A and B are shown apart, each in its own frame.
Chain A
């Protein structure tokens, strides 16, 4: 909508949402490079950014091929945690009895380090996709439940009374009041969950897999191939960012009315 000329165009470009993090990233990369040169850090400790970029460039097809199983496991695990987490949160928020039975155990189970039990899944399900999905699911599940419980519980009881006084059935009241009310909290849980699901998938690949970015990481550490390892980390970070962005977009689409989205909404209106 603006002509890209004059000082105005520069400041406008600076104000675009994606420019600032990119600038900051560039700054970090330059600082990284300078530090290595300045302190003469050997490449077997920290590789130079140039080397990492070179690996990213040359091994791109291979990395992309390995990123696919990780992505797949992450998405499956994430969807499972949403699919199970939200109903479990409904039960916990809806019934004191269920809450008293389940919630403490759920918190207890979270103190068990997943990486310690991940080999168990390999024993049970072999070296396929399933252990990774389970691992991603286990890491992603908890934040969804905690946020959704908080969302379901924070609904104004007067609002529920109002809907009930109109002879709304429990289900109707839930769909019209409780569920939409909990949506913002559910989405903040989903955003945490999706990034943790990436970690979960990689943990699954660490302990027993012959494909995926986790496997690439494991192998490159074994051979002190640090540039490849860093390239794999970059791919993982990108994966996390893209998945987070997708959930964020869905959120904007589902709850355009929420306070956090109002600027955008006003702009659109």
Chain B
């Protein structure tokens, strides 16, 4: 119990534990910066605090993963970064610009692929282009290239229901990338997939991120998945959400599934897991 509450002290190799706030890390020009961002919802029973003030910075090209229990305001965080939701206090900066409305510099992947059933795969991938009113003919080769990148070549004319869950999610990743945003926001993107497909998708996602150089903010419930994917892992507390800790993941890249057997990996997973055991009422 005592060891769980203060892992940094008890664990000898605590070099990759970061302090809660790291606002100073960014140069203010690139990546994502949150400064004092909080969210309070007004409901019938009064005010509900969803997120306590958050301060952190995500570097450009970084793979940043947020883990936390359900209802810790992770999805709220994602909506505020994409500009769909205004924070109650504080400011969000994307690429140095303050976010006040949808800015289109993000691609979003949800747990459900959310492909439109009446559009074929290619038309689904082109949705952001239609929404932003960009020239179709200019982006069509890009859309096809992305589908090729994720191994969906030849499925352009298929309707979503004709594809498996993993393939649908790949298509939705293409849709998130087609307008070439700087940032990819992923809300439990592989949560609905079976365990084997999920592992394969994780490896593939890392490859896509490496090849495109996007800044990725991924939200997940799975601690091993978080550690496997991330450059840094942000651990959130239960509602109201706040930052419990931010960890560096010192595993070398490119990573294969073998990385999960690495002692550094298992130790970090164990450490992060302790955050939730101290918080929950189970113990």
11 extra interface residue pairs, beta carbon distance < 8 Å, beyond A158-B114, A168-B130, A258-B117: A158-B112, A161-B79, A161-B82, A161-B84, A162-B114, A165-B82, A165-B102, A167-B103, A167-B132, A176-B130, A258-B118
The residue of chain A having its C-beta at the shortest distance from the C-beta of B75 within the complex is A158
Task: Tell me, in angstroms, the Cα distance from A240 to B117 when the chains sit together.
Answer: 31
Q: Contact at A255–B118, with CB atoms within 8 Å?
A: yes
B53 to chain A, nearest CB (A): 24
Main secondary structure of the interface of A (DSSP, over half): helix
Q: B116 at interface (Cβ–Cβ under 8 A)?
A: yes
Map CB proximity to B onto A144-173 as digits: 1 under 8 Å, 0 otherwise.
000000000000101101111111100011
Chain A residues within CB distance 8 Å of chain B: 156, 158-159, 161-168, 172-173, 176-177, 180-181, 255, 257-258, 262
A-B residue pairs, 8 tightest by C-beta: A168-B131, A166-B131, A167-B104, A166-B128, A257-B118, A165-B82, A159-B114, A180-B118
The residue of chain B having its C-beta at the shortest distance from the C-beta of A173 within the complex is B131
Q: B159 at interface (Cβ–Cβ under 8 A)?
A: yes
Map CB proximity to A onto B121-149 as digits: 1 under 8 Å, 0 otherwise.
00000011011110000000000000000
Q: B106 at interface (Cβ–Cβ under 8 A)?
A: yes
Q: B182 at interface (Cβ–Cβ under 8 A)?
A: no
Q: B110 at interface (Cβ–Cβ under 8 A)?
A: yes
Contact of B116 among A166, A177, A258 (CB under 8 A): A177
Contact of A156 among B102, B112, B128, B132 (CB under 8 A): B112
Contact of A166 among B102, B110, B112, B118 (CB under 8 A): B102
**Could you say which residues of chain A place their CB within 8 Å of the CB of B110?**
158, 162
Q: B39 at interface (Cβ–Cβ under 8 A)?
A: no
B37 to chain A, nearest CB (A): 17
Count of A-B contacts judged by CB separation below 8 Å: 59
Q: B179 at interface (Cβ–Cβ under 8 A)?
A: yes
**Could you say which residues of chain B place their CB within 8 Å of the CB of A158?**
110, 112, 114
Chain B residues within CB distance 8 Å of chain A: 79, 82-84, 102-104, 106, 108, 110, 112, 114, 116-118, 127-128, 130-133, 159, 161, 179
**Could you say which residues of chain B place their CB within 8 Å of the CB of A163?**
127, 131
Task: Tell me, in angstroms, the Cα distance from A262 to B160 when the chains sit together.
Answer: 12
A127 to chain B, nearest CB (A): 46
B207 to chain A, nearest CB (A): 24
Task: Tell me, in angstroms, the Cα distance from A258 to B119 when the chains sit together.
Answer: 11
**Could you say which residues of chain B place their CB within 8 Å of the CB of A162?**
108, 110, 114
The residue of chain B having its C-beta at the shortest distance from the C-beta of A262 within the complex is B161
The residue of chain A having its C-beta at the shortest distance from the C-beta of B187 within the complex is A158
Q: Contact at B84–A257, with CB atoms within 8 Å?
A: no
Task: Tell me, in angstroms, the Cα distance from A158 to B113 when the chains sit together.
Answer: 10
